[in-house]
Amino acid sequence: MSTLPDAAPIPEEPARHLKGGVLLVVAPVDLAEAFFSVPAVRALKHFRPMGSITVLCVESQREMWDAMPEVDAVVDYPLGSSARKLHALIKGGESTHSFFDSAVLWEPGAAALAVMRARVLQRFGYPAKGLVKCLTDPVERVTDPGPIEHRVRYYLGLVQELGADAFVRQNFQTIPLPEKPRSIRIAVAVESEYGSAYQWPEAKLETLKHAMEEKYGAVQWVAIRKGEPLIPQLQSCTALLASDGEVAHWASFVGLPAVVVFGPGEPDWKRPLGKQSLVVREHVACSPCYLAECPMDHRCMDGASVERVMAALESAMAERS
């Protein structure tokens, strides 16, 4: 007597499928979060190489998204723009398409509302408060108790649910980095947008500069100029020395070896991506506190010694090919 194979189990939820070939991705407003979403956007492009991806972002991020070959078009807007203005941009902006089949929304806000009002047929995202009403296809996020997860997993987890191969090396590849300069050029960004508590002390920076110059001779210290294109500034350097802040994430994006001094923040949660980003941290009892100003004695940043930071910087310099 012949036997039939067992039937495949019925899935609890139907598989999710991106419809059409024209996708809109609404970038997170926060710059660090936008950088953490980059591997997910790459994964979407590798998953559907014949489809097009347009990124809607705040204007301060345009340089980053323009540099990505996986992104076909970028539509930027001033921070604080209303949903009405963003709706007009989506319907007739710089994108090669004024109609989108699908959209990926990471967070609530004016941009998510604009995408909903534009009646994009399929809108994916996590059902967070304020965002779920903008979604046609909410994607539940299941997390298990355990160690802190890096924020990049938040974004990759969603595109994995859409069928993309998320946690693979190619999604973390950086844009090409030119040959290292002949002389030693160290980019410096010890100020932080997150507050004075995040800043490695200037006195320690000056001591490090003297120690480096005694050991290596002439060293060119390059102060990063905000308000000017950041990618070419970083690409012209040997390495970066920075406090936990936005410039460190730009260096990660271009693949520049960097030393990032952490204090009030948690590197396991929000460190710059890539092995070329080296973290120096003095883990004290009150860290991470995430406070912009230290109410105590700044022990977390003062504890990051010149010797440790210099050793890490020399390792970063050796990584630069």
- The residue ranges of every structural domain in the chain are 22-172, 185-319
Q: Summarize the confidence of residues 46-61 as an average pLDDT.
A: 96
The DSSP 8-state label assigned to residue 61 in this structure reads: G
Question: Rounded to a whole number, what is the largest CA-CA distance in the chain?
Answer: 87
| Pairwise CA distance, residues 57 & 109, whole Å | 12
Q: Is the pLDDT of residue 226 over 90?
A: no
Question: Residue 236 — very low, low, confident or very high, per pLDDT cuts 50/70/90?
Answer: very high
CATH number for the region 22-172 comes to 3.40.50.2000
In order of 36, 86, 208, 213, 238, the CA distances from 235 in angstroms are 20, 33, 22, 22, 8
pLDDT of residue 19: 86
Q: Is the pLDDT of residue 172 over 60?
A: yes
Helix, strand or coil, per DSSP, at residue 60: helix
> What one-letter code names the amino acid at 206?
E
pLDDT, one tens digit per residue, over 113-152 is: 999 999 999 999 999 999 999 999 999 988 888 899 999 9
What does the block give as tokens for 155? 């974004």
| Pairwise CA distance, residues 270 & 146, whole Å | 17
Across 115-134, b (16+ Cβ under 10 Å) vs e yields: bbebebebbbbbebeebeeb
What does the block give as tokens for 219? 């060293």
Q: Is the pLDDT of residue 8 over 60?
A: no
Q: Which helix (H) or strand (E) holds 31?
A: helix 31-47
pLDDT of residue 223: 96
Q: Is the pTM of this model over 0.85?
A: yes
Q: Which fold has domain 185-319?
A: Rossmann fold (3.40.50)
Q: Which helix (H) or strand (E) holds 125?
A: strand 122-125
Angle in degrees, CA 216, 217, 220, rounded to 5:
95
Q: Summarize the confidence of residues 289-310 as an average pLDDT.
A: 96
In order of 83, 100, 110, 145, the CA distances from 89 in angstroms are 10, 13, 12, 41
| Pairwise CA distance, residues 266 & 138, whole Å | 29
pLDDT of residue 195: 97
Q: Summarize the confidence of residues 16-31 as an average pLDDT.
A: 92
Which residues have CB under 8 Å from 20's CB, separation 6+? 51, 100, 101, 102, 121, 122
What does the block give as tokens for 174? 């950086």
In order of 4, 88, 233, the CA distances from 249 in angstroms are 56, 31, 14
Q: Is the pLDDT of residue 96 over 90?
A: no
Beta strands at 102-105 and 258-262: parallel, antiparallel or unpaired: unpaired
Please answer whether residues 59 and 78 qualify as being in contact, where contact means their C-beta atoms are separated by less than 8 angstroms: yes
**How far does CA 156 lie from the centroid of its chain?**
12
Question: Residue 16 — very low, low, confident or very high, per pLDDT cuts 50/70/90?
Answer: confident
pLDDT of residue 9: 57
Q: Summarize the confidence of residues 32-50 as an average pLDDT.
A: 97
Q: Summarize the confidence of residues 76-97 as an average pLDDT.
A: 83
Please answer whether residues 72 and 190 qualify as being in contact, where contact means their C-beta atoms are separated by less than 8 angstroms: no
| Pairwise CA distance, residues 269 & 7, whole Å | 42
Please answer whether residues 208 and 309 qualify as being in contact, where contact means their C-beta atoms are separated by less than 8 angstroms: yes
Question: Do the first three CATH levels of 22-172 and 185-319 match, i.e. the same topology?
Answer: yes
| Pairwise CA distance, residues 122 & 103, whole Å | 6
In the chain, the percentage of residues whose pLDDT exceeds 90 is 86
Q: Closest Cα partner for 272 from 32, 48, 95? A: 32
pLDDT of residue 179: 94
Please, what is the average pLDDT of the chain? 93
